[in-house]
Chains A and B, each alone.
Chain A
Amino acid sequence: AQTVTQSQPEMSVQEAETVTLSCTYDTSESDYYLFWYKQPPSRQMILVIRQEAYKQQNATENRFSVNFQKAAKSFSLKISDSQLGDAAMYFCAYRSSGSRLTFGEGTQLTVNP
């Protein structure tokens, strides 16, 4: 079974600085998808960014980018120019050829003014 591990239960960053959230996963498959979801205090799950395993180029969405290392099975999220609104729980998730997602335990990000 696939597993997703987020080794940082909590992280903090100063406003306008950069922070990187770590995620590793375990799989024997070669074709899969990876996601980062944000969950603010409202509890709503919001998709931040996604990556297809066969694409070597790292995905970027405005201030959010990933560092995808397929051989190392690592999928970290970098948030640049952090804003107060980025404070949230962040979940890394994996999906193979089926539709089911496997989530990591989450990283609680605090942004300090």
Chain B
Amino acid sequence: DAEITQSPRHKITETGRQVTLACHQTWNHNNMFWYRQDLGHGLRLIHYSYGVQDTNKGEVSDGYSVSRSNTEDLPLTLESAASSQTSVYFCASSAAAGGYNEQFFGPGTRLTVL
């Protein structure tokens, strides 16, 4: 069965370190997204990609970067981790076609920055 996976599921790091969160999907979806979830804010879009070599900033992109070298993967990098980036991170993917274009979510990564 097709799926979307994230690794690691839990990560503790120190302020100033570079961190990369992995996202891998086997749906063969063109669209991929990264969200962060914080109490009182729901899920907020960090970055998204509509295909290989395409990346776009979302509403909370400062301090984060992504790259898309193939269809299956969209890694999220925190260049210099800050305590404000402690959060739960979700990756999602969807097909490029119109209509409902349902997004399928990964299980999430809980990141703690000390």
Q: Which residues of A does B touch, CB under 8 Å?
A: 4, 6, 9, 33, 42-45, 47, 50, 52, 91, 95, 97, 99-106
Q: Interface residues of B toward A: which range?
A: 20 to 34
- How many residue pairs bridge A and B at CB < 8 Å? 49
Q: B43 to A91, Cβ gap below 8 A? A: yes
B50: nearest residue on chain A (CB-CB)? A99
Taken together as a complex, chains A and B put the C-alpha atoms of A103 and B46 apart, in Å, by 13
Q: A100 to B33, Cβ gap below 8 A? A: yes
* B78 at interface by CB-CB < 8 Å: no
Taken together as a complex, chains A and B put the C-alpha atoms of A111 and B92 apart, in Å, by 28
Q: B90 to A45, Cβ gap below 8 A? A: yes
A104: nearest residue on chain B (CB-CB)? B42
Q: Which residues of B does A touch, CB under 8 Å?
A: 31, 33, 35, 40-45, 48, 50, 58, 88, 90, 92, 94, 96, 98, 100-103, 105, 107-108
Interface of A is mostly: loop
Taken together as a complex, chains A and B put the C-alpha atoms of A99 and B97 apart, in Å, by 9
Cross-interface CB contact of B102 among A50, A102, A104, A106, cutoff 8 Å? A50
Q: B94 to A99, Cβ gap below 8 A? A: yes
Cross-interface CB contact of A99 among B31, B41, B108, cutoff 8 Å? B31
B102: nearest residue on chain A (CB-CB)? A47
Q: B105 to A101, Cβ gap below 8 A? A: no
Taken together as a complex, chains A and B put the C-alpha atoms of A100 and B32 apart, in Å, by 10
